[in-house]
């Protein structure tokens, strides 16, 4: 016991001696402030490029959302997560939305309603336009959505700068959103899924569909393809691989540029502050 006390005592002295030799003040690395980019700030389009918008719906839905986010990051492509407030029901999911929002300009959080259209009861949702609009406003507030960009749950409808079109059942809702200064984004190509969230198309087929849309000029805005998919489809490794492969095929064409949806050519009023200044 005595021996042990002496040993510890010696060790303490040795440590104290070695600490004396260390510099008193830590040299801190210089922090360079990078100005934060504001979502919705217009970009300059290059007519020689083809713009691709990966717009993934229904987040936060872990683990799919994390898987997609990691793949996009690894591949170095931008993407938009159309998010649902009701899905952010615990601290982990709220943090996931925060992470995505804070990673702009890499990723953008956009608005996909708070209740996902009264929990998929689309008919009642679109039959009650005021409640539907309030649902989007609630989502914007809860998730701190930084842009006035909405995707209607379950419907491919569009409200753009000077253009509106979509499913007649959603007309009253998207007209109200238009009057409030919102853009509504549908999609040009959908990566469909079956029950159990199994993707229908493979990576090569999806890339083919995207290329055909560009080549046949069948997109809503020229030179721009909006792709819809859902985070949850890629939770399993074999489908995650398919997503990586899809992006890798598209990246091989140097004309392809991946952007967030606030940089869509026909978007209006993307910057909230700008709208306030205009009013």
> How many binding residues for Zn ion (CB under 5 A)?
3
- CA–CA gap between residue 81 and residue 132 (Å, rounded): 20
Q: Dihedral of CA 55/61/66/68: which sign?
A: negative
- Number of other CB atoms surrounding residue 216 within 10 Å: 8
Among positions 40, 58, 81, 182, the unique one binding Zn ion when judged by CB under 5 A = 58
Q: Which CB atom, from 39 or from 117, has the smaller least distance to Zn ion?
A: 117
String marking each residue 234-273 x if it binds Zn ion according to CB under 5 A: ----------------------------------------
Helix axes 64-75, 237-251, angle to 10 degrees: 30
Provide the 3-class DSSP secondary structure of residue 52. Answer: strand
Shortest Å, Cβ 120 to Zn ion: 8
Shortest Å, Cβ 184 to Zn ion: 13
According to the binding rule CB under 5 A, does residue 231 interact with Zn ion?
Answer: no
According to the binding rule CB under 5 A, does residue 57 interact with Zn ion?
Answer: yes
Shortest Å, Cβ 216 to Zn ion: 27
- CA–CA gap between residue 109 and residue 63 (Å, rounded): 17
Q: What is the dihedral of CA 247, 251, 256, 257, to 10 degrees?
A: 70
With vertex at residue 201, the alpha carbon angle to CA 123 and CA 234, rounded to the nearest 5 degrees, is: 80
Q: Tell me the window of 49-57, 122-130, 208-216, 241-249 that interacts with Zn ion (CB under 5 A).
A: 49-57
Shortest Å, Cβ 251 to Zn ion: 27
Q: Tell me the window of 36-44, 53-61, 189-197, 257-265 that interacts with Zn ion (CB under 5 A).
A: 53-61
Shortest Å, Cβ 112 to Zn ion: 6
Q: Where are the beta strands (DSSP E) in the chain?
A: 50-59, 79-83, 107-111, 149-150, 158-160, 163-165, 183-184, 189-190, 193-194, 198-199, 224-230, 256-258
Shortest Å, Cβ 57 to Zn ion: 4
> Rule CB under 5 A: which of 124-163 touch Zn ion?
153
Q: Which CB atom, from 113 or from 219, has the smaller least distance to Zn ion?
A: 113
Helix axes 64-75, 91-102, angle to 10 degrees: 20
Residues of the shown chain interacting with Zn ion in the complex, contacts defined by CB under 5 A: 57-58, 153
């Amino acid at each position: 016991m005595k021996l042990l006390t002496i040993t510890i005592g010696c060790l303490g002295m040795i440590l104290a001696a070695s600490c004396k030799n260390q510099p008193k003040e830590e040299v801190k690395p210089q922090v360079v402030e990078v100005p934060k980019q504001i979502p919705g700030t217009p970009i300059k389009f290059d007519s020689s490029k083809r713009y691709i918008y990966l717009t993934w719906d229904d987040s936060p839905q872990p683990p799919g959302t994390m898987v997609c986010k990691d793949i996009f990051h690894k591949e170095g492509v931008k993407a938009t997560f159309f998010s649902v407030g009701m899905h952010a029901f615990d601290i982990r999911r709220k943090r996931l939305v925060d992470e995505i929002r804070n990673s702009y300009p890499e990723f953008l959080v956009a608005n996909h309603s708070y209740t996902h259209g009264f929990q998929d009861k689309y008919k009642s949702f679109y039959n009650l336009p005021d409640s539907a609009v309030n649902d989007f406003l609630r989502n914007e507030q809860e998730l701190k959505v930084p842009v006035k960009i909405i995707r209607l749950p379950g419907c491919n409808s569009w409200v753009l700068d000077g253009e509106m079109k979509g499913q007649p059942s959603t007309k009253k809702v998207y007209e109200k959103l238009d009057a409030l200064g919102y853009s509504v984004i549908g999609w040009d190509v959908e990566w469909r899924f079956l029950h159990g969230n199994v993707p229908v198309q493979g990576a090569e087929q999806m890339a083919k569909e995207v290329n055909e849309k560009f080549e046949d000029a069948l997109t809503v805005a020229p030179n721009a393809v909006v792709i819809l998919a859902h985070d949850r489809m890629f939770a399993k490794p074999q489908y995650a691989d398919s997503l990586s492969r899809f992006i890798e095929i598209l990246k091989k064409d140097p004309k392809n540029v991946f952007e967030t949806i606030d940089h869509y050519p026909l978007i209006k009023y993307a910057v909230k502050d700008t709208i306030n200044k205009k009013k």
